[in-house]
Each structure stands twice: as structure tokens, then as C-alpha cells.
Structure 1
Amino acid sequence: MRIAIRADAAVALGSGHVMRCLALANGLQARGAQLTFLCAALTPSLEQLIHAHGHKILRLPAGPELATEASWPLQAQRADAQACLQALGGSPAWDWLVVDHYGLGPPWETALRAAAQRRLAIDDLARAHDCDVLLDVNHFEDAQARYQGRVPAAAVVLTGPRHALLRPEFENHRRNVQPRSGPVRRLLVLLGGMDADNVTGRAVEAIGRLPQARDIDVDVVIGAAHPARAQLESLASTRPRLHLHVQSNEIAALCARADLAIGAGGGATWERCCLGLPTLALCLAPNQREVLAAGARAGFLYVPDGESIDADTLAAHLQALVNNSGLRGLLSRTGMALVDGQGVSRMADLMLRQAVTVRPATASDSAALWAWRNAPRVRMASRDHNPIGADSHHAWFTRTLAAPDRFLLVGERSGQPIGVVRFDLDAQAGTEVSIYLVPEDHARGSGSALLAAAEAWLAREHPQASALVAHVMGDNTASHQLFERAGYARATTCYSKELPTWNPQTASA
């Protein structure tokens, strides 16, 4: 599966768009996809990070310098679309195109239909999109309604923090953290990789004004391009309990061990919620204001009133949180209930499913199915482990194609076969489903994607098949997990035993 991602990062833009796309890219890569980033603006550190994860980058001409949330003029969007089409090859050879960019909208997305079969738009602002799937991970009471009439009627709209695109280390650390309680001994300052206005410096100053400051360890995280990096490094050298982390890849660990955070209202909000880290959340961009207000109402963020974020104001709010362990515990529990860290898996699996299609097998598939069915891996998962002869297979295949109550489907991704599904209709016992992957397909999640596509085909073509059953060998762990993930309920347990050959001389022993 080939996937392209269009996102930018710079001091004015921040790094959030690229970072969440990188998390999604890594999840897709783990499932066998090949990822390419299309970037007109990218900091050197992020460029190195993308390459370090094994993804390709195609550079584009620079776009207009506008406010971070402003849509680019139509001419600029068309120019960028043309550059992307040229970079991608112009033909619809890409399975997915992901766009996470405030400057690009429907004109750009419509033009890129020529390059990709499906388009995923990631948004925060309830803008209009011409896409197949829309993702907005923010928490709003009317999340779905925000996009009503702003995306095609057939588009899938996914909303809410359960889809937050977090790196796997957050889910891993989540297993070992508990909702926060007790005193604040460690404080985390994380205000974005860029922080053009150096709010980080004001936060550090505010912490220093706390009566408990000498007893609190403070972790401060900044990006390599932070405008006040030198001043913060100098300050950290004089304060032994102030720990500066530049371009850190240990954010999850820092969140897990902190008792309280000062953070921005961007994508890192969901990282902190996932690990139950109560946060004094600051609005550093206009698009964060509505998200923060909704978070405060829902009880997973502490958000100061007003626009001021000077050191005195920060110190007062920080002191209020330090003194109120009950409030911090509530914020922690509410955040953890909202974000489970599995958003990347959900999105990657959905994209994988939508990229898989099924078609009825034809006579020309006979030889391929015979070879796949005789592969050792497939035989060992079948009821009959023995190789099947060519004549036996040909006779079975011919009967199967002619049978009115049996349907043999071939699953494909990017025009390449990935597996086979067979349905045997039975009105009384339920329609039996059998499935196997071709030996060459090792992409994680292919079985689930193939099964989902086949079920959708059956529901569409034969709606009378209302119940499905699957018979799985007892030691076939992968198939048991596949059907359980797909919502099948285990109804019975079958035991088997092979008896030794009867010998009358020993029968009475």
C-alpha cells in the first residue's frame, strides 16, 4: 500500500501537523505500507526524524506566508496541487493521500483526485473538505455536526480523542501509570516544539515564584529551533532542579513521571490525557481557544480565564492547582477515560480496510488458488493438512464456481491479491466463512481488512445471509484472534482425540 502525506512544519506553523502525521505513518508502515511525505516547509530536525523512521520526503516549492490558520489563495492551492501531482506521478497509483494543512482545502483536494484512490483530511477547524475520510480528534459536544454539509455525503467522519494520533510509547507507558494523587514533586513544561513567543520562559519564571519551588523538579521540553534556546540553557545551568530537554524523544516517559504539566492546547493535549497528566492548559493559537473551552467544560483541562499569560497570572493558577490534589485527580481520571492511546491503530486499520477490495473468483484464478492452498502455512491452518492434487483442486474449483449457495472471493490491495474468502450459505446453521491470506502477504492487519471487505460484499450482494459462523482449529491462535477482533462470539468448544489402533491382546490389560 502506497500512501502520501501532505504536511508542513515551521516556527510560525508549529510541528503538530507533521508529528501527528508521523505517528500515523509509523503505524501504517508497521502494517506494510510505504510512506512518502510532501513538504513545502520542514525544519531540519523533523526532516531527520522522518528519514530516521524510514519514510521518503519530496520537497515542494514554498507556499505563501499567511496566518497559520488562513486558507491559501486559490492560485496558490492550485500551484501546490500541480507540484504534488508532478511529484507523485500524476496517475492514481497511490492508495491514500493524507492532507493535514490549514492552507489547503477543497480546490487542492479535488485536484489531487487524479493521484490517489482515497483522501484523508485531518482537521481541527471544521473547514470544508473534498475527501473520503475526515478526521478531527478534538473533543466537542457537537463534533459530528460541525462537519455536516462541509464534506461529501458519502465521506466517513471520525471525531473525538479516541482517534488521537499518538506514538506507541504513550500506550505503552499508560499501562504503568495511575491517576495522579498526592503532592506535586515533578512538573513538566511542554509548550510546543517551536513556541515562537517563548511562553516557556514565562512558565519557568512562574514556577520559580512558587513557595514550593525548591522542592519541585522541573522538566522543560523545547524544540531544537526554539527562539530562546540559549537563554533557557543558561538558566538550566544555574538551577540544579531545572532539567532542559532539547528535541527530546522521551516525551511519553516525561509525561508519565510528572505530577502536573503546563502545556499548550494543541495535539500534545491528548498525549497528556492518555497518561493522566493534569495540565494547566494555555491558549497559544486562536484555533486552540474553542478546544480548550470544551476541555474545561468536560473536566479534563484546567484553563485560565482571560487572555493574559504573564508570569504573575501563571504563578497564581499554578499555585491553585498545586494546592488542590482533588482537582488534579479529577483532571487525571477524566483525561485517561477520554484517550486510550489506540487512535493510530484505529486509523491505520480503517485505512487498510478501505484499501482492500474483493471480487468473485473466476476460472483464471484456479492455478493461483491451488498454489496458495498448498502453501505450508495455509495447509497447517486448514482442516486437512495434506497437499491437494491438481485434479482434486480443479474439480473442487469447478463445483464451487457453479454452486448457487457458495461464493468464493479474492481480496486485493493495489491490484495485488492478498487472500481468499469463501462463504457457504445455510439458512438454518448460518453462513460459514473460511479465510486465508496468500503466503506472500505479511502486512499486519490484512486478515481483518480482508474479512471486513468480504462481509461488506456479502451484506450488499446477499442480504439474506444474516448470520455468520466460522470453524477454527483449536491451535490456530491467529484465526481465533481474527474472528474475536471482528466481533464473532465463541459459542462452543470442541474436543478431539485420536484413539490408538485396537489390539485384542492388550485390550484387557
Structure 2
Amino acid sequence: MMFAFRVSTSVGIGHVMRMKWLALALQNKGFQSIFIFDYLADNQENSLLPFLTELNSLFFYLEKAPNDEHEDAQLSLAFITAFPSIEHVILDSYDLGYNWEQTLKNANKRVIVFDDLAREHCSDIVFDAKWVGLKTNERYQHKVPESCRTFLGPQYAILSPAYSNVKRVKNNNNLAIKKVLMSLGGGGDLQLIADIVEVLSQEMKSLPRIEISIVIGPKAENAHVIEALATRYRNIILLYQPKCLADYYLQTDLFVGALGTSLYELAATKTPAITFSIAANQQNNYCDLDDLAHHLHLPFLALEDIPSFGKLIEMALLQLPRLTLLRESATVNVDGNGVFNIVNILLCDELHTLTNSLPTNVVNTLSNDKDIIALNDSLTIRKVNDKDINHYRESRNLPNNSERMTIQSEIEPLEHYLWWFNINNQRESYVLYKSEQPLLYIWHQMFSQKSALDSKNGNCLKQYLYGGWFTAQGNVSFNIAMAALQWQLEYTRTLFPRGHWLAVINQENKFVNLLNQYMGFSQIPANSEALKITQSLFPQASTSHFNYVELDFGNSNE
């Protein structure tokens, strides 16, 4: 039995590499294969073969550029039918789909498809490694025939065998050189990487010594720009068309680059990373990325954002232990054994006995029972940790929250990450749960201000507190909000018994105004010191739209 691979080469080499590892695993089991690639024009360079030297396969290119999927399928069949022992045809292409598969099935071939776009298929098997939370197993409902088997989730991510059950290398370099790996995958415009490096070069005085390795893929554009940089900066190492990045991931302190196949490679090697998307198929839901412990991602990286992006890289390098711990927080494990799982399925005679289950959860190392405070039988509260970074922002951006805030514009991911990792950020945040579902976030911050001598406490340094709360998924009841605020006031009163709370509340938010009034807040007197301080804390909160209120623990009668 032989396998035929029809692989797209129009968008980098990601499809080629993952099919290479699958073919190699089949080859190790004694099965041969052929590869059929896109049409290669006379003036095009054949840049794929150096990546395929481990395979004892035959490689073919379509004889012409087809007009549609049916013609592509017929051109592919011309190669396939020349090998009578080929029964299984494997398709990995964003350009080909249902119609191509139908033509091959009409030729009595068993069709296996690899996809991550949740499209319609008429194949016998679909493999899709994309993780979309608890909806992963529903991605192909009503999109494939009943006879088609789907195997979905990161346990089917195809990586090099070098990623199987790997362990990171601890950086014991006495000079504390931090290693950064940058890559856009097999293609991409390297001018973007050059711009990032130029920004970093301005930050290097405040950074530990860093070594930057840059991947130059076979389809990369503007490689000469990176080569010119390498002549200027001695700490830049160029990696020309590496076949596998596993060893580099395991030894690097921080990965910076495009999110494609790297998502699963980074998860398998537990490499701290900051990524961005450069293609439509690289868009992901933040909660799904969080499950894979991939927490720092931008949906795109605009040219004007590169200086701020460089600042984020600087922050990450200065707080690497924090990012390393965050990388250990996966709830979905990627062990690098996806290719072996797939081979076992392809070679299984009793396919109908197999079941497809969601990946097994692993322990979340960022929170445990001692961090959880029970408010009553149904409500619990815990301090926010780094794993909450994306959910915190998305909750704050909910319309029912942002429309009532002093700053109503949406907070973008890059802006949020810079604020989150700012070492001067003194905000304390907590999240309240009901039945393990987050309901709201509550936060506060303290600062000291010189004031007129208070004869009562003999101290001219006054402790001011300010804070707020916002819902995590929708409106919450008065009782739940009151429980959270009551806990916050009791907690801060214990820490700052003479603290002075200051707050601004949107005048149209009758719910919160009533709640704060119930908890003892009162209007801040005009022309008072407290009013001036509150205006400095909330400069966007005009007195015509916001109520200014206070609660002084030191003068409380409670």
C-alpha cells in the first residue's frame, strides 16, 4: 500500500513540512509515498527539495496551472493512477477542497484531508488540530457526510519527532545572555523583523545582554535587509532555512514572530512567546490560545505599533521568570506526538472502534485552593493572576462596561499588555466566581498624598484608595455586586484602617450609584482637597456626567 500526498505550496512551506513528517512516520512503518506539488513555472526556483531529503518518496509537480479544483484533481490523478498500489490520497491545501475530494472519491480513492478552516468536505477522514475550546468537536457538524470520521484537537498537531516529549534547557550562562528567536515561518516580509530589531537596538542599554537568532525561510522576502543588520549588530545570528526549530525553541528564552505552526511547537517546548498574525488562518480566539498557555498575541502588527511592540519585548525579557511560569499554565497539553496518533489511525483496520476525545487537562500552576476566598456558599473570590490577562481585557471591553467608564474606547491587546507588565503598575485586581464561572472583576489601588496635619492621627501623609469593578460576562445582580464591594471595603479597611476611598460613578449608572450609597459613600464636597485629588485621578470624568463620592475609614462610625 502506498500513500499519495497532494500538498499546496502557495502559502509558505507549513503544509509541506507537516506532510513531510507524516510521510516520514509512514516510511518508518514500511510504507512508500509520492508527493504532488503545485505547478512550478520555468522561472520559479525549486526551494522545497532540500527540506525533503529524509524521504524516499517520488516528487511531482502539476504540468500546468489548473483552472479549477476539478482540473487540479484530474492532473493529480494522472500521477496517482500510475501507481496501482495507491489507495489513500492525502490532501493538505487551503486552495483545494470539496470538489477536488469528490473527483478523487469518484475514482475510488480513499481521501484523507488535513484542514484548520472548518470547511465542508466529502472525504473519508478529516484531521484538524485547531483548538477552539469545548466547541472543538463540533467544528464539522453538518459539514461532512455521516461516513466521514473527524479527528480534532491539538493531539493531532503534526510536528517533527524532535518535539516528542521534550524538556526545556535551563539557561545557565554565567553572562546571563538572553536568547531571542525571531521567525515569520517559511515566508513573510523580513522587513518587519528588521524594524523590530532596530527598535530593540534602542532599548539594549536597559536590557540584559541578548542574542537574537532570525529565521530566513525559503520563501522569505527582503532577506538582504536582515543580512545588512547582521553586519551592524554582532549579536544577530542568521538561520537559513532550518529544517526543524525544536532545539532552538528549547534553548531560547523568548520567541517573537508569526503565529502559525509555531503555536503548537511553542506549546510542546513551553517556550515563552510574543506573537502576531500575518495571515488569515493565523487568527485565533484569545480564550483558545490561553488554554494552550499562549497568552501574548496580537491580531496584527501595524508599522506604527512597532516602537510599543519593542517596549513589550523589553518588558518580557526583564520579567522572564514571570513569563516562564505563565507558560506552564496550559489546560490543554501538546506533547508533540500528533504524527504518531495519526499514523495509528491511518493504519488501523478497525477505524470505527476509535473514539475522538478532547485532550486531557493538566494542572494549572498559577492558582490553588489557598488563593480562593469563600464569600458564601456560592460565591468565591481570588486574586487575579497573569493567566487572566486576556479575559480581563475582553471583559473590560464589553459594551455594558465600557459605555459607563471614564475611558470608553476599546483597549487594544498591545496597549493592555504594556500596562499589565509595567513594573510601576500597582493595581490589585480580584475576580469573583459563582459556580466556577467568573462574574466580575474588582480592583483597587492606593497612593499616599501629603495633607494638612491631622490632629487626630498626628500624620500629614494621607492614604487614598481608588478602584472600581466591571462584569465578566454580562450584568450582575445587586446582591452579587454588593457582596463583592463589601468584601473589598472590609479587605482594604484591614490593610488601611485610616484609608480614604475616592470614586467616580457615571450619573446614568443608577445601579452603582445606589450600591455605593448603600455602602456608605457620600458626595465629595466642592472645593475640597479630596475633589482635587479625585479629578487628578480621573481626568476624563467630568462633573457634569460623573458623581464624585468618598468614604473615609478613619472617620467611619462603623
**TM score, norm. by length of structure 2:** 0.57
Instruction: Identify which of structures 1 and 2 has the higher relative contact order when contacts are C-alpha pairs closer than 8 Å and 6+ apart.
Output: 1
Q: Per-residue deviation at 1:349?
A: 1.2
Q: 2:288 is aligned with what amino acid?
A: A
- Whole-Å Cα distance in 1 between the matches of residues 203 and 2 of structure 2? 52
Asked if the contact 1:217/1:242 (under 8 Å) is kept, the reply is yes
Question: Secondary structure of the equivalent of 2:288?
Answer: helix
Deviation at 1:238, TM superposition (A): 2.5
Question: Aligned AA for 2:27?
Answer: Q
Q: What is the identity, as a one-letter code, of the residue corresponding to 2:229? A: L
User: 1:138 aligned to 2:130?
Assistant: yes
Match of 2:333 in 1: 338
Confirm or deny that 1:204 pairs with 2:202.
Answer: no
Counterpart pick for 2:70 among 78, 87, 104:
78
| Distance in 2 of aligned mates of 1:63 and 1:192 | 25
Contact 2:258 2:275 in 1 (8 A): yes
- More strand, by proportion: 2
Contact 2:191 2:225 in 1 (8 A): no
1:191 aligns with 2:184: yes
Corresponding residue for residue 27 of structure 2: 29
User: Aligned residue for 1:396?
Assistant: none
User: Of residues 230, 234, 252 in structure 2, which corresponds to 1:240?
Assistant: 234
- Residue 89 of structure 1 aligns with which residue? 81
Distance in 2, Cα, partners of 1:308 & 1:138: 26
Q: 1:218·1:241 contact (CA, 8 Å) conserved in 2?
A: yes
Partner of 1:351: 346
Change (3 A) 1:233 1:239: same
Query: Separation in 1 of the partners of 2:310 and 2:12?
Result: 25
Higher-helix-fraction structure: 1
Secondary structure, in 3 states, of the residue corresponding to 1:322?
Answer: helix
After superposition, residues 181-330 of structure 1 pair within 5 angstroms as 185-196=178-189, 198-211=191-204, 212-213=206-207, 215-290=209-284, 294-296=288-290, 299-304=293-298, 307-308=301-302, 310-330=305-325
CA contact (8 A) 1:263 1:269 kept: no
Identity among equivalent positions (%) equals 26
SS in 2 for 1:6: strand
Question: TM-score with structure 1 length normalisation?
Answer: 0.62
Distance 2:238 2:301 in 1: 27
Describe the superposition over 1:92-118 as per-residue Cα deviations: whole angstroms up to 9, x where unpaired.
742311111111111110101145642
Q: Measured at CA, do residues 82 and 162 of structure 1 come closer, stay the same or move farther in structure 2, by a change above 3 Å?
A: same
Using the alignment, how far apart are the partners of 1:276 and 1:346 within structure 2? Answer: 21
Contact 1:296 1:303 in 2 (8 A): no
Closer/same/farther in 2, CA of residues 293 and 179 from structure 1, 3 Å limit: farther
The 3-state SS of whatever aligns with 2:162 is: helix
- From the superposition, tell whether residues 175 and 278 of structure 1 become closer, same or farther in structure 2 (CA, over 3 Å): closer
CA shift, 1:45, in A, is 2.6
> What is the CA-CA distance between 1:25 and the residue it aligns to?
1.0
Q: Which runs of 5+ in 1 are unaligned?
A: 65-74, 357-451, 458-509
Aligned length in residues: 345
Greater mean deviation of Cα atoms: 192-201 or 231-240: 192-201
C-alpha distance in 2, partners of 1:320/1:137?
32
Q: Which amino acid aligns with 1:325?
A: L
Checking the alignment, whether the CA contact within 8 Å between 2:168 and 2:270 is kept in structure 1 is no
Q: Which has the higher mean CA deviation after the structures are superposed, 94-103 or 200-209?
A: 200-209
User: Contact 1:164–1:341 (CA<8 Å) still a contact in 2?
Assistant: yes
Contact 1:265-1:291 within 8 A present in 2 as well: no
2:120, 2:286 → 1: CA distance? 22
TM-superposed deviation, 1:17: 0.9
Q: How does 1:163-182 map to 2 (within 5 A)?
A: 163-171=156-164, 174-175=166-167, 177=169
Native 8 Å contact 1:143 1:160 kept in 2: yes
Q: Give me the whole-angstrom Cα distance separating, in 2, the residues matched to 1:165 and 1:134.
A: 14
Distance 2:242 2:4 in 1: 26
1:189–1:203 contact (8 Å) kept in structure 2: no
Cα distance, 1:187 vs structure 2: 0.7
- Structure 2 gaps of 5+ residues are 355-558
Q: In the aligned structure 2, how far is the partner of 1:336 from the partner of 1:194?
A: 31
